[in-house]
């Protein structure tokens, strides 16, 4: 993990992209574009959806993403090898990465303009799907790689090897290999651990494992993770970040490794990871017995 404080002089160069659905999204988009266009010292390039984001060699201080975490996933994948700092403005529901509301973005923009933010690098992964016929494809991702049984509704037998060493065979309904950023997404719902987003690690989480001994596993991001399944039901699917889906065949091999680039997330100094867990996920330690379970005196009926 690396953190760097923004610096620079001259115009504040912004690019803006957003999800496309709905009149409400378009209304918010127009108001934010209008707001930014009126700010002195701001140079703004407006794009459509993340698929239309083409920065090339254009210098950009921050890419503003209007939407939810899914829009951010599409944006960082579209940026590919030319990652830029991303700031999310939440128009979705949870918004774990897209933390600011539109009103908060407007309120705190002077701090952004003054370069009072940090850029934090986060682990991304490269997923290679090597087909049994010798063909292959490669994808860049941020959250997780999943193998799902699909409509077959049958138990999968998935072999896991790390750096070429066989580790275990999971009997499960599916398997997730997640980054720390993705540990609060699908992996969390399957019982995986919470990882600080700046760790250099992967977590392997089985979905409904049919044994008590296969628990989530955390290992180094410097390792190469290989998944194979000699027998697969029809419809078994590789899913990347919940957005890219590929049907799998027996003897296909999936390799996951640390990507050569990092996801760059712009954060204001008052951001707290654990505060976000409390606020967004309702996460906490001890129940608040002091305030919620205090015995009450019985009502006296006259």
**Is 69 designated active site?**
yes
Cβ count within 10 A of residue 298: 6
56-90: pLDDT as tens digits: 878 999 999 999 999 999 999 999 999 999 999 99
Q: Which of 44, 71, 76, 72 is nearest to 58 (CA)?
A: 44
Catalytic residue chosen out of the listed positions 51, 61, 69, 173: 69
222-243: pLDDT as tens digits: 999 999 998 999 899 999 999 9
pLDDT for 272 equals: 78
CATH number of 3-117+268-281, picked from 3.40.50.10330, 3.40.50.1820, 3.30.9.10, 3.40.50.1000: 3.40.50.10330
Q: Rounded to 10 degrees, what is the CA torsion of 90, 48, 244, 138? A: -120
pLDDT for 297 equals: 47
Question: pTM of this prediction?
Answer: 0.88
CATH fold, domain 124-260, is Tumour Suppressor Smad4 (2.60.200)
Domain ranges, ordered by start, for the chain = 3-117+268-281, 124-260
64 touches 46 (CB < 8 A) = no
pLDDT higher for 204 or 251? 204
């Amino acid at each position: 993990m690396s953190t760097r404080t923004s610096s620079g002089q001259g115009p504040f160069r912004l690019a803006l992209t957003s999800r496309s659905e709905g009149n409400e999204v378009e209304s918010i988009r127009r108001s934010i574009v209008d707001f930014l266009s009126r700010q002195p010292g701001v140079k703004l390039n407006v794009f459509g959806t993340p698929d239309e984001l083409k920065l090339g060699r254009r210098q950009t201080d921050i890419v503003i993403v209007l939407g939810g975490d899914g829009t951010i996933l599409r944006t960082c994948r579209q940026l590919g090898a030319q990652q830029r700092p991303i700031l999310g403005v939440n128009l979705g529901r949870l918004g774990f990465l897209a933390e600011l509301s539109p009103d908060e973005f407007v309120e705190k923009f002077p701090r952004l303009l003054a370069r009072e933010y940090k850029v934090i690098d986060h682990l991304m992964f490269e997923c290679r799907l090597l087909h049994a016929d010798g063909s292959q494809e490669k994808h860049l991702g941020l959250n997780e790689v999943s193998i799902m049984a699909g409509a077959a509704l049958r138990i999968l037998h998935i072999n896991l090897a790390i750096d070429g060493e066989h580790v275990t065979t999971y009997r499960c309904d599916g398997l997730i290999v997640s980054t720390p950023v993705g540990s609060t997404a699908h992996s969390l719902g399957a019982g995986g651990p919470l990882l600080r987003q700046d760790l250099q690690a992967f977590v392997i989480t089985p979905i409904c494992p049919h044994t008590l001994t296969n628990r989530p596993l955390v290992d180094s991001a410097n390792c190469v993770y290989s998944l194979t399944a000699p027998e697969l039901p029809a419809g078994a699917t590789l899913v990347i970040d919940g957005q890219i889906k590929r049907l799998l065949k027996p003897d296909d091999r999936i390799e996951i490794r640390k990507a050569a680039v990092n996801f760059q997330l712009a954060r204001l100094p008052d951001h707290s990871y654990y505060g976000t867990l409390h606020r967004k996920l309702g996460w906490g330690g001890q129940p608040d017995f002091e305030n919620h379970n205090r015995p009450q005196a019985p009502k006296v009926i006259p």
